[in-house]
Structure 1
Amino acid sequence: MGTSDSIAGGLHRPGSNVAPPMYKAIRFFFEICLHSFYGNVEVEGTENIAPDNYPAILVANHSNSLTDAIAILSTVPPKIRSMVRLTAKDTFWHKPGVFNYVIKSAGTIPIKRRKDYENQKVDNTETMGALIDSLGTGSCVCMFPEGISRYHPQLAPFKAGVAMIASDTLARYQDMPDFSLTLVTTSINYLHREKFRSDVVVTFHAPIVLTPQQDAKLFSADKQEKTEAIRKLTELLESTVRSTLLDAQDWETVRIGHTARKLYAGDLGTRISLGQYVRLTRKFVSAFSQHKQETATAKLEDGSPIGDKNGDSLEMKQPVKMDAETVKKIDELAKDLAEYQDQLDFYHLKDYRIKQGKPSVRVLFGKLFQRSLLACLLSTICLPGLFLWAPVFIAIKYQERKIRKKGPLEDNLDEIAQYKLMIASFFLPVIWGFWVLVTLPIALFSGPGIVILMWLTIRWLEDLIHNAKSMLSLLRLLFLTQDTIYSLRDCRQELAERVHDYAVQYLKLPEDPEDLVRENRTRKASSGWFGKLSGSYFSIKRRRRKDWNEVMRLHDVTKYD
């Protein structure tokens, strides 16, 4: 077994996996779903996906119910892979419903789960046979080895199903000298999976190419040898998917990881790509998570490079071993970071406000006046579009409250995201069709005009909320005493120095965080004053924001549980 930067070999059967019209329609609908609900969807590593008619399995984490399937189908380029077959729990086939119909119509293969049958033993022999047959014709199958969709901070242990299917597939086609099976591990990171207009990054990792000749142990006649090979492959898949996830034992570790990243590289903002942002945050999350469970002599987890989707990166050296005293200092740092973030949350302030300090009263009133004028302007131009969006917002709020009453929030947040996304996507064409009929005499103009108005309304609404949040922050600064500001700033400065030392010495991050921006080639620098303005505040495509973690809320979301 091995990884490669390109797909070689494989059983190539031209025309054996042509996507049916229904699949294309569903994929188009899914793309509307994903891009309507989430603000930025960044995709990395599409060159690692095996092309059409080469047997492949996409292996992904499963933290957001049906939304994960939508993310996969929407981000795999049709030019590379015209069709991806999904797997889903077979209970979708037992009941009627819109979601169930969509899932069944997308070429999905049903799998029985023990938890759906009172933990009784289930027989998936027929399903496994269908999967192997599908792979034999050059299909691409997407599987979620966690076996469950879960809203938890840590990836669930992978089940051996994917490795076993790979084993059976290689065994069946072992007499074909040109046969190979490609496993493409995929990491899906939602910054706030259930929040409207938050961000998603989907990363396709380097392929793992299996062949009957090189990986004969996977279907060895020696049961122990085969079991060990399947175990190792499962561990490899899990570790690869985990390598770019914000993964920790608890949400508090994720929270302080974000705080540490802000103190180390808060000035970078969105000048780095979303993928870089996630990997940089993960460095701190992973490190603090390791400190909770490792001894003083253990090493930190080997981190993935912080780079852009084109593969350019700053490779990081292996973190150094730490003695007991160092581990104690890091534990204290984690505790102090949590306390500092608690203070920011108490005063409802952002870290950069503390760094800048409190402006004079005159400057504060000037900024408040400017933002008041902007708020009036944005509110005025938003009103017509908000009238069109009202049914969507009302339906989403109603469904969210209904789901929250069902039980523990952590068991239902992924369902909230799913329903929000689907409701928005269902209502949008209905609203558009209704107003086109109402304005039928001028439908040639109103048709595209309604789409443009609704899109611009969301952009303006994002700016309005950002502006309102800034006004609230300035008002809080106005009423804070200088002593409080000085105390917070001194605390921040001392913490920033400790975080920087830790990042450079132990995580082997750059001395100058700006190096990350220089290596980021995913965005072209704007030239001149007009380019800078059009590339930031006045951009129709992307709203102005200081941090990728921002959402459409009047308060910052720093707690994830």
Structure 2
Amino acid sequence: MRQSGPGPTPATWSYLLIRLLFKFVLKVFYGTIVVEGLEHIPPLGEACIVCANHANSLTDALLLVKAIPYKRRGMLRLTAKSTQFGRGTFTSWLIESAGTLPIKRRKDFGDADVDNSAIMNLLIEALGRGDAICLFPEGASRYHPKIAPLKTGVVRLVSDTLTAHGNEPDFRVSTLTCSITYMHRQHFRTDVLVTFHPLMTYTPRTHPELLAPANRDVVRRETEVLYSRIASGTLDAPSWELVRCAWLAASIYAPLGTRMRLGDYVRVARAFLEAFKAADTDDAASRPDEEVGELVKELKVYVRELSRLRIKDDRIRQPLSRPTIFSRMLLRASWAGTLLALSFPGLLLWTPVALTTFIGVHEFTRTGGPVWDTWDEIAQYKLVYGLISGAAVWAAAVLLTLPVALITAVLIPAIMWMSLRWFEDAVAAARAFVALARLVLVPCATLTRLRAQRTVLHARLVRLAAERLGLPADPESAYAKASGPGHKGRVAGPLSGKARYFSVTRRRKKDWAETLRLYEDFDYPEDETC
């Protein structure tokens, strides 16, 4: 049922401009943004509250603005903590000009009582017009392995909206839960999964218990349902070590080269994580699974050993002779040098962007508090500084070539993009060279021991996956059939490899954990600091 009244709030020009700019910036910063569940997004004119986990500050909101098709919803009304407003910074201007509404948080005012009644009335009015509103019910952005207990604000807003339209028994307001999973939140060219879940729709007729005065237990119960839906699409763990084990289990079960969509890869890791969570406890009352518990302990030992040696599991899986290692090192070095030479002219244009971003993030992490408590905002700063400095480079290049400015206005972005693509593949080749060089330094006896350890782990993980987690026993065959476009994995042959592996639009990754860096590392904070 479409809402009566003046209709949804039209998008402002500044909102459209910001959406366009950051749609481009997000495409540059993140290697692949995979969006699932678009069919669950209600059409324009139906009141909707989009609520997601909040792990990456302003970047989460920008991703949702990009992920939700403009033709489907028009303007997504955002909310942000009130301390982000009126600061006179570029970020503050972005937030304010996008029509974002300020929410006061008690923690920002010395835990004193705050009055958000005026903003809540605006949100109720917006829902009455059929707007889509974005809320993050955790209440704050946080770089932690576990999703925080959700605030009840979303359900209370549903309750207040239904109450305001109590004389319209079929008035509909829905919650659209969303799970956002970053492979590496703050790193350049990492991958992101955005999963929308089926709608939860409320009306005064079907949910009279939510009409004021709504029972607190009912509100809490509905909030717990929101939590379970959001957590069902991402990794939610009590410790970073279990997160590392889950990713490692997924990579052992479906090793490098398995054709698999990002969504499937995240779901496999989550399936292992849920089993590990149930078993990795000292609470005798919960009767943990001893077999899985032993598997978790062995995985922890294995992941610590890999971290100490700074090598990846795939290097253990496939034994290589010393001559083969050296020949591959030579090949990777040659390929990296060739691509670096091709990308060098464009990299000169990227240099001011990289320096500006590095300095800006360095100053932020130096003054913003402990590194582990600022990682949720690093991507935001990289995006903003990258946008400003990138626009400055483009403008300077156009001004310096005024006689042919119309040509350079298009040519400069094209050169920068292609140099980025070549550089991305150059770094991947250099990263393979570094990994092979590290492998040479590992004693053969250590490699043999780790290989035997991995063989046992692989057999136990496949058995756990097939017998208890409902996952296929042969992941390569099962997931390849459904991988379709946007997959990772090996290619059919030399010719198809050149066509499919190298892409102008994005790098065809063999590993979803890959980023634009010379080394692979799950750089999570230590659990005791969280």
Q: How high is the TM-score relative to the length of structure 1?
A: 0.89
Matched, 1:285 2:276: no
Equivalent in the alignment of 2:440: 478
Correspondence for 1:197 among 183, 189, 203:
189
Mapping for residues 73-222 of structure 1, pairs under 5 Å: 73-219=65-211, 221=213
Deviation at 1:165, TM superposition (A): 0.7
Deviation at 1:184, TM superposition (A): 0.3
- In 2, Cα distance between the equivalents of 1:138 and 1:358? 61
SS in 1 for 2:205: coil
Q: Which residue of 2 aligns with 1:531?
A: 496
Q: CA deviation at 1:513?
A: 0.8
Deviations 1:16-52 (A, max 9, x none): 4321222111211221232221111111111211111
Q: What is the SS of the residue equivalent to 1:540?
A: coil
Distance in 1 (CA, whole Å) between partners of 2:182 and 2:320 is: 34
Q: Structure 2: any 5+ residue segments left out of the alignment?
A: 526-530
What is the CA distance between 1:378 and its match in structure 2? Answer: 1.4
User: Which of 328, 339, 349 pairs up with 1:388?
Assistant: 349
CA contact (8 A) 2:48 2:132 kept: yes
1:234 corresponds to which residue?
A: 223
Cα distance in structure 1, aligned partners of 2:236 and 2:168: 40
Match of 1:402 among 360, 363, 366: 363
- Separation in 2 of the partners of 1:279 and 1:99? 34
- 1-side partners of 2:342 and 2:482: how far apart? 39
For 2:21 and 2:371, locate their aligned partners in 1 and report how far apart those are by CA, in whole Å: 28
Once residues 156 and 2 of structure 2 are traced to their aligned partners in structure 1, the CA distance between those partners, rounded to angstroms, is 19
> What are the superposed Cα offsets for residues 59-88 of structure 1, whole Å, 9 maximum, x if unpaired?
111111111111111111001011010111
Query: What's the secondary structure of 1:79's corresponding residue?
Result: helix
Match of 1:424 in 2: 386
> Counterpart in 2 of 1:375?
336
Q: Distance in 1 between matches of 2:282 and 2:102?
A: 40
Alignment check: 8 A CA contact 2:6 2:129 kept: no
Q: Alpha-carbon deviation of 1:432? A: 1.0
Q: 2:483 aligns with which of 491, 501, 520?
A: 520
Contact 2:337–2:426 (CA under 8 A) maintained in structure 1: no
Q: Which whole-Å CA distance do the structure 2 matches of 1:181 and 1:541 have between them?
A: 38
Task: Kindly report which structure 2 residues correspond to 1:426-505, keeping only aligned pairs within 5 A, or say none.
Answer: 426-505=388-467
Write the distance in 1 (CA, Å) between the matches of 2:275 and 2:523. Answer: 19
Question: 1 CA distance for matches of 2:163 and 2:508?
Answer: 54
Check 1:108–1:533 CA distance in 2 against 1; reply closer, same or farther (3 A cut). Answer: same
Report the more deviating stretch, 396-405 or 412-421.
Answer: 396-405
| Contact map agreement 1:13 1:53 (CA 8 A) in 2 | no
Note if contact 2:137-2:152 (Cα within 8 Å) is conserved in structure 1.
yes
CA distance in structure 1 between the partners assigned to 2:225 and 2:416 by the alignment: 45
Cα distance change, pair 220–99 in 1 and its aligned pair in 2 (3 A): closer
Give the structure 2 partner of residue 320 of structure 1.
Answer: none
Query: What does residue 5 of structure 1 align with?
Result: none
Structure 1 distance, partners of 2:438, 2:483, is: 35
Does the Cα contact within 8 Å between 2:57 and 2:376 map onto a contact in 1? yes
Partner of 1:315: none
CA contact (8 A) 1:87 1:143 kept: yes
Q: Is the 8 A contact 1:358 1:477 kept in 2?
A: no
Q: How far apart, in 1, do the equivalents of 2:326 and 2:18 lie?
A: 52
How big is the shift at 1:274?
1.3
Tell me, in whole angstroms, the C-alpha distance in 2 between the residues paired with 1:504 and 1:216: 44
Task: Give the length in aligned residue pairs.
Answer: 521
CA distance in 2: counterparts of 1:74 and 1:429, whole angstroms: 20
- C-alpha deviations, 1:313-336, integer Å up to 9, x for none? xxxxxxxxxx75xx2222221121
- Report whether the alignment pairs 1:541 with 2:505: yes
Provide the residue aligned with 1:560 in structure 2: 524
State how far apart, in whole Å, the 1-side matches of 2:347 and 2:178 are: 37
Provide the rounded CA distance (Å) in 1 between the counterparts of 2:497 and 2:338: 22
Q: Distance between the aligned counterparts of 2:281 and 2:70, measured in 1?
A: 43
Contact 2:9 2:126 in 1 (8 A): no
- Equivalent residue for 1:313? none
**RMSD (CA atoms):** 2.0
Secondary structure class of the residue paired with 1:535:
helix
The SS at the match of 2:146 is: coil
Q: Is the 8 A contact 2:160 2:212 kept in 1?
A: no
Moved >4 Å (runs of 4+)? 12-15, 293-298, 522-529
Counterparts of 1:543 and 1:296, CA distance in 2? 48
Pick aligned residue for 1:27 from 12, 19, 22: 19
**SS in structure 2 of the partner of residue 266 of structure 1:** coil
- Percentage identity across paired residues of the two chains: 39
